[in-house]
Structure 1
């Protein structure tokens, strides 16, 4: 089944407008398969990993099917963690922002229940909740599910792994029997199938099936980089490698426009290509790309279909793709017609796990690359200038220019008779001038970012954590440990870097005192977690 564009899914104009503003052009495989069945009122089992767009796969039809005029709770979404509940809530609020009368509320542990009770008085029709807190509200009768029409279990396998089976049973046995039940899980274990058999009727199974992917013979690299430093890194690689023609992929139209504008302001010949452009605009951009008058084409996956340019030297995954197949399609744009090609993928924070998925499904080796330094770039530019100079010397058409050098020597000696200047000095000065003038970017102090620095981004403070890879921890463990014992929401926690014996985590400045309070007893897997300010280099 081919992926559908959102215009083919019979959605309301309000939803289409919201989705378009979120920057999405095409439904992902799991969305293309799930949305029509859910809209038809069928029970659905969706098998999909995180990062495949599954939230919108159930969120879009849920919002479409809720009746704004009915102020009772009509849809319940169960989530294993507070962080996921908040994330789902925020995404659904984006999707529903043009649908009047739709109210959405997340309920989870760690937040004062009185605040949630007050919010429930505003009569939300969609509740996203963790099992424990939801049951607490049901016992208090602050949440009543008598008019419930839909139940969605997101990351059902994770809920079972966390020991929520009894809670799920208790919740589902107390909600109306005549309802639509949707379940999403990354795996289809026996426990999951038992759950579906007990609580679903004639469920339709949909899954994002991975095709057998063949990766072309292209050099593949990934670079670990913070989001705020991606633009500098892209510029440095293009400058160091002297790349004349490249494709840069972003996941949304908004990102394409923003990046194109930033590259143009730095002096690059860059153009955008995405679904909001008229066909005549796309044709003009592609014509300029083919004839080399554009150096960098910044595009979305959908807009880049049909691009067939033989001399693309490099492909950049500025945003890591949501689907492994997209990765293969992207990097296949380089290395054509028997030429060598190279692909660079930028990975920020927790995206590293998606990169691992890509490597596993494509059975390819993506090599870690160290970001180029300013001295690397300068050396590369000198080499490029020297190469051009050798070509000029080989043509031996330098007669009148030798005269200019003699004139320069004479003038310099008249002005400064104490120092003896040679033709080598003149050549070195000219080389320096050429390299400086050919530099695309006037790197300011802010641009000379040290990628190995452990400092946090602006407005954030970097903290040291005494556990690392050897303790078998993941970023989610650190987020849950901190968010569960402080008022700091997991969504506000920044970059997390995990090393063998320790880790670093960025948190907003205003939460530092609370997180570092001696009264906080952070634990991961039963082991006490020590958190303190990281030392800057």
Structure 2
């Protein structure tokens, strides 16, 4: 397997990669980086979570001429969240290179702050198409020195109506630029843009996004619509959920699920009608571990890349297979494993059947855990924890307290403590 040390790139980039814990290239990185370093235009088909950010970030940083403080690369992203995330990844990758400047530009933040940073000099601009155009038209962003343009999550940008903006930006950048285009799917519109704005692009595909989910265990739970919420809470308890994303199809559904889960779990929600400031606040809580369950709509969660999500739960069945794959792809990031649950009511059966038919990975049908099974699982967790403490030792002080305070049989004391913990 190819390693980053095998690449002919700056030692500073290798040092940063090593510090970040990356040594081996993912399939998309192995195919993209050498060609991108050679200046070839590329169309890369790969899903979110495949490592494509570093696939384009390494060539971008490698080719930056630091003494020139004007923009040399632009990365276009569909959402504010993804723009911030990509800019942060590029900054981490270039942290060993002195005076490298990266800026994320997006709506929802005062334009004056971004303008001041642009005026001081920036090497790489990452942003949403609308805000990038805004800066171009205000004279804040000079495109004359742009050598590389990356269009990330291209299919999502087209779905969000950004085609005209993307074409406007590409048309205003120098014709001799390198253009890298990444997308989970390649619809006709993307092919049209590629034909018009790229120079003999090479097409790179890292397995079908629908097949690139081997480490996600997928379960479906058929239920009556009235059983859904109760079933959801049982799943969260039974599977010892540490960090989960729950997807709903509507804002109304998000509000309902979030409101009722808050009685027992650390939960918050995001949806498209919330202000950007509110969404950022919630996302920070989720990333920092202040909440461990986030309820969201597809639009609000677009472009999110959060490590540590072990469960994705589809409270509502997605509209189609592509939405399903995008949703469950939020778990099992960076080679880890994850689980995806789908709650299917009778009126969602046709959508579920379509998804199952189009999905090459098996979706296992299961029953919700019964109350008796939940009780058994809770007891098992407590006893396993107790066994681990016994194996670790260091219980002498506690043993002495029990000997001093209790004159009962050891099993009776243990049973009383178990009962106390179970009823808590």
Q: What interval of TM-score do these two structures reach, taking the shorter chain for normalisation?
A: 0.5 to 0.7
Q: How does 1:463-502 map to 2 (within 5 A)?
A: none
Q: Which residue of 168, 178, 181 corresponds with 1:180? A: 178
Taking structure 1 as the reference length, the TM-score comes to 0.46
- Count residues with an aligned counterpart: 283
Structure 2 counterpart SS, 1:32: helix
Shift of 1:23: 2.6
CA contact (8 A) 2:214 2:361 kept: yes
Distance of 1:180 and 1:113 partners within structure 2: 28
Q: How does 1:251-266 map to 2 (within 5 A)?
A: none
Distance of 1:213 and 1:186 partners within structure 2: 11
Aligned residue for 2:332?
321
- Does 364-373 or 69-78 show the bigger shift? 364-373
CA contact (8 A) 1:225 1:346 kept: no
Is residue 2:75 matched to residue 1:59? no
Distance of 2:52 and 2:383 partners within structure 1: 49
Distance of 1:213 and 1:173 partners within structure 2: 34
Deviations 1:51-79 (A, max 9, x none): 11111111121111111121111001111
Q: 1:24 to 1:161 in 2, by over 3 A?
A: same
Distance of 1:52 and 1:173 partners within structure 2: 29
Is residue 2:189 matched to residue 1:191? yes
CA contact (8 A) 1:213 1:362 kept: no
Structure 2 counterpart SS, 1:94: helix
Aligned residue for 2:364?
365
Distance of 2:109 and 2:360 partners within structure 1: 39
Distance of 2:412 and 2:21 partners within structure 1: 44
Q: 1:207 to 1:373 in 2, by over 3 A?
A: same
Aligned residue for 1:486?
none
Q: Which residue of 109, 112, 119 corresponds with 1:111? A: 109
CA contact (8 A) 2:218 2:363 kept: no
Shift of 1:120: 0.8
Aligned residue for 2:148?
150
Aligned residue for 2:43?
45
CA contact (8 A) 1:381 1:435 kept: no
Q: Which residue of 26, 29, 33 corresponds with 1:28? A: 26
Q: How does 1:208-219 map to 2 (within 5 A)?
A: 208-210=206-208
Shift of 1:104: 0.3
Distance of 1:98 and 1:65 partners within structure 2: 15
Taking structure 2 as the reference length, the TM-score comes to 0.57
Q: Which residue of 81, 84, 100 corresponds with 1:83? A: 81
Q: Which residue of 431, 442, 448 corresponds with 2:411? A: 431
Structure 2 counterpart SS, 1:141: coil
Is residue 2:78 matched to residue 1:92? no
CA contact (8 A) 2:76 2:126 kept: yes
Aligned residue for 2:286?
none
Distance of 2:241 and 2:59 partners within structure 1: 36
Q: 1:30 to 1:123 in 2, by over 3 A?
A: same
Deviations 1:193-228 (A, max 9, x none): 111011111211112115979989x99898472439
Shift of 1:8: 2.4
Distance of 1:209 and 1:151 partners within structure 2: 24
Q: 1:213 to 1:166 in 2, by over 3 A?
A: closer
Q: Which has the higher contact order (CA 8 A, sep 6+)?
A: 2
Distance of 1:76 and 1:118 partners within structure 2: 18
Q: Which residue of 240, 243, 246 corresponds with 1:227? A: 243
Distance of 2:83 and 2:382 partners within structure 1: 50
Q: Which residue of 168, 171, 190 corresponds with 2:169? A: 171
CA contact (8 A) 1:157 1:186 kept: yes
Deviations 1:476-521 (A, max 9, x none): xxxxxxxxxxxxxxxxxxxxxxxxxxxxxxxxxxxxxxxxxxxxxx
Shift of 1:160: 1.4
CA contact (8 A) 1:382 1:431 kept: no
Distance of 1:101 and 1:207 partners within structure 2: 35
Structure 2 counterpart SS, 1:52: coil
Distance of 1:146 and 1:134 partners within structure 2: 14
Larger Cα-atom Rg? 1
CA RMSD of aligned residues (A): 4.1
Structure 2 counterpart SS, 1:121: helix
Aligned residue for 1:136?
134
Consecutive unaligned residues of structure 2, counting only runs of 5 or more, are: 221-234, 245-329, 342-354, 387-405
Aligned residue for 1:120?
118
Shift of 1:108: 1.0
